Structure 1
Amino acid sequence: MDEQVGVGPWPGPWPMSADGSPDPKYDETLLADGDRRNVADRYRYWAHDAIVADLDLSRHEFHVAVENWAHDFNIGSVIRTANAFNVKAFHIVGKRRWNRRGAMVTDRYQHEFHHPDVADLALWASADGIPLIGIDNVPGSRPIETFALPRKCVLVFGQEGPGLTDEMQAACTDVLHIEQFGSTRSINAGAAAAIAMHRWVMQHVHGNA
């Protein structure tokens, strides 16, 4: 029999606030029935809105954008990784509906914006002075391993296979690639996104250029 994910009902007295009232961070249904969600242990039994509010206190200063023209399954993987790195927000460019299966509900804990086309994303970014940084191994791209990523930026990813559109490449301040050493032309879009986000974290959280 498969083991259940998460934790069962809260053991013992329920958590209370200093004034003796129920702690509003916690969801009474989860306390009573158990918490089987895909959340970090520190957020077990917390209400959804309380988790989002707490994440908002420490979100990083970079955004993630994904072009969505063909309902690519990998978009969900990118968004799930964006949750893991607690990005400021994620942006869907193109079709409003996107394949959420790979996100495993993590999108509910993030801030989502939709842009009908590349021009709309570029306009939004320029209004706040945030550069668009494309991630794709195209001619003229620069290695991400030696590039100083801006603290405030939007990391932009294309779809599996075609990568960034020509229009998106033109809108980006820089386009970066991840160095590869094998025979394959490219790596999975979800994996590339994870590497790029981790590169930002290494530079701006851990101070390793």
Structure 2
Amino acid sequence: MTEVGVGPWDGPWPDDPRYDPELLRDGDRRNVVDTYRYWSLDAIVADLDTRRHPFHVVIENWQHDHNIGSIVRTANAFAAAEIHIVGRRRWNRRGAMVTDRYQHVRHHADVAAFGTWADAAGLEVVAIDNVPGAEPIERASLPRECALVFGQEGPGLSSEMIGLCSRVLAISQFGSTRSINVGAAAAVAMHAWIREHAEI
């Protein structure tokens, strides 16, 4: 089996404070891009903080959905500003593959608490759910500063959360299934924001 990452540092150690002495000594087998090899966790987070995108990812967590970790991983890949967990504080981190360590994750006890925070932050809250009356995301323009809200696998978003949102967008589907996996839907929606607003 091919090992991931790099082994111990070869040659004189760099004096850059971003490097972690233990990683230099033992090697860096983390799932990070090459730019961040041997960097400490704090150094990576600090660097990401200088270039995060101004969209937030919001996940309702009432049923301990196993897809939350996948959504968090995608939010990290697209450098979301923050991740918000609404409802239960605990969530299944396995699918995140430790990417949550590099993100700012904020908890809100309920929809009302999140709504108060979003209003104070001046963010437009946009639901992603295939409910009647939803606008096709393929024809929509997403706000640059916004919160994209995702629900649970199966039941989708709560009526209270949909009521909080200014718009509801749906991903167009053409097959026989009623819905796509919420982790996949989140990736499609975040990438729609990237296509419209990110500097490539």
Q: Give TM-score, length-normalised by structure 2.
A: 0.98
Instruction: Tell me the residue number matched to 1:58.
Output: 51
**Equivalent residue in structure 1 for 2:81, among 84, 88, 101:** 88
Helix, strand or coil: the match of 2:184? Answer: helix
* 1:206 Cα deviation after fit: 5.2
Number of residue pairs aligned between Structure 1 and Structure 2: 200
**What CA deviation, in whole Å up to 9, does each residue of 1:77-121 have, x standing for no partner?**
000000000000000000001111100000000101000000111
Q: Distance in 2 between matches of 1:46 and 1:154?
A: 30
Give the superposition deviation at 1:182. 0.6
Distance 1:134 1:5 in 2: 37
Give the structure-1-normalised TM-score.
0.94
Q: What SS does structure 2 have at the residue aligned with 1:72?
A: coil
Matched, 1:24 2:20: no
- Aligned partner of 2:10: which letter? P
**1:55 to partner: Cα distance:** 0.3
Unaligned runs of 5+ in 2: none
Q: Deviations over 1:99-158 (max 9, x none)?
A: 111000000001010000001111100112211100000011101111110000000000
After superposing on structure 2, the runs of 4+ consecutive aligned residues of structure 1 that deviate more than 6 Å are none
Aligned alpha-carbon RMSD (Å): 1.0
* Matching residue within 125, 131, 139 for 1:146: 139
Residue 2 of structure 2: aligned partner: 3
* AA of the residue aligned to 2:69: G
Equivalent residue, structure 2, for 1:203 = 196
Aligned mate of 1:119, from 101, 112, 126: 112
Q: Report SS of the residue matched to 2:162.
A: helix
Rounded Cα–Cα distance in structure 1 between residues aligned with 2:153 and 2:65: 7
1:147-204 per-residue CA deviation (whole Å, 9 max, x = no partner) reads 1100000000001111101111111110100001111100011100000000001011
What are the equivalent positions in structure 2 for 1:42-81 lying under 5 Å apart?
42-81=35-74
Compared with structure 1, are the counterparts of its residues 125 and 201 closer, same or farther at alpha carbon in structure 2 (3 Å cutoff)? same
Distance across 1 between alignment mates of 2:116 and 2:10: 51
Give the deviation of 1:67 after TM superposition: 0.4
